[in-house]
């Protein structure tokens, strides 16, 4: 009799375990939450193609400079990483170069004029020599201003998020005591071309999400 009771208890326990096993429903694995972007407080670092950008007082008549982002390009030079966004303001293509180091630096190319080496008062040999020295004490004179050499390096550009980039060589100079930067770029099979960018206050830049 005792053995029968023990067997009955074991059978009941086994049935209970089997029932629990077949009724088990695994819980869904919690997925990490995707950070929400505050669309009412977008930063220039959030800007993407289709967004509208307004730069307070940056136009030549000191009105706001507004454009829609048509392109966003990524750049890399060694450990340096940055990007730019560009679009049309009236009849002019403008771009904002965004560098993220300890803080966010924004430089605006608001005048698309490109300068030749002759206009810059430079020879190719001058740039080659500065590139070899990599000396931040080097300088050039342009537009009656002194421009201090900052760096030169081969740069990769990835246009509009393309996984394959192209390359160019770049020399960068900073206006002494000013807020302007001069970049001289050399793509293969193309002449040297210099452009001037002006430092902008990121607080003066408003980004609106495009539809």
Residues 6+ apart with CB under 8 A from 151: 134, 136, 171, 172
Summarize pLDDT for 18-46 with one digit per residue, the tens: 344 444 343 443 445 555 667 778 999 99
pTM over 0.75: yes
Average the pLDDT over 171-190 and give the result: 97
Q: Is the pLDDT of residue 154 over 80?
A: yes
199-210 pLDDT, tens digit each? 999 999 999 999
Neighbours of 59 (CB within 10 A): 16
pLDDT tens, 88-123?
999 999 999 999 877 899 999 999 899 999 999 999
Query: In Å, what is the CA distance from 74 to each residue of 35, 71, 143, 166, 195?
Result: 22, 10, 30, 11, 18
Please give the distance of CA 44 from its chain centroid, rounded to a whole number. Answer: 9
For the chain, the domains span 50-208
* pLDDT above 90 coverage of the chain, percent: 74
């Amino acid at each position: 009799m005792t053995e029968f009771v023990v067997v009955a208890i074991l059978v009941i326990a086994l049935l209970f375990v089997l029932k629990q096993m077949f009724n088990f429903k695994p819980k869904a694995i919690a997925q990490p939450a995707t950070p929400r972007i505050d669309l009412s407080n977008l930063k220039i670092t959030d800007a993407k193609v289709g967004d509208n950008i307004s730069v307070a007082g940056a136009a030549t008549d000191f009105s706001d400079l507004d454009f829609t982002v048509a392109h966003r390009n990524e750049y890399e030079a060694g450990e340096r990483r940055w990007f730019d966004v560009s679009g049309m303001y009236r009849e002019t293509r403008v771009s904002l170069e965004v560098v993220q180091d300890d803080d966010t630096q924004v430089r605006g190319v608001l005048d698309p004029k490109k300068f030749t080496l002759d206009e810059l008062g430079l020879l190719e040999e001058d740039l080659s020599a500065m590139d070899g020295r990599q000396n931040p004490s080097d300088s050039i004179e342009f537009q009656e201003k002194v421009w201090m050499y900052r760096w030169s390096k081969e740069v990769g550009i990835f246009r509009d998020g393309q996984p394959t980039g192209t390359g160019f060589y770049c020399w960068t100079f900073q206006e002494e005591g000013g807020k302007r930067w001069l970049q001289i770029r050399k793509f293969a099979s193309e002449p040297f071309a210099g452009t001037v960018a002006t430092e902008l206050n990121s607080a003066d830049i408003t980004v609106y999400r495009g539809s």
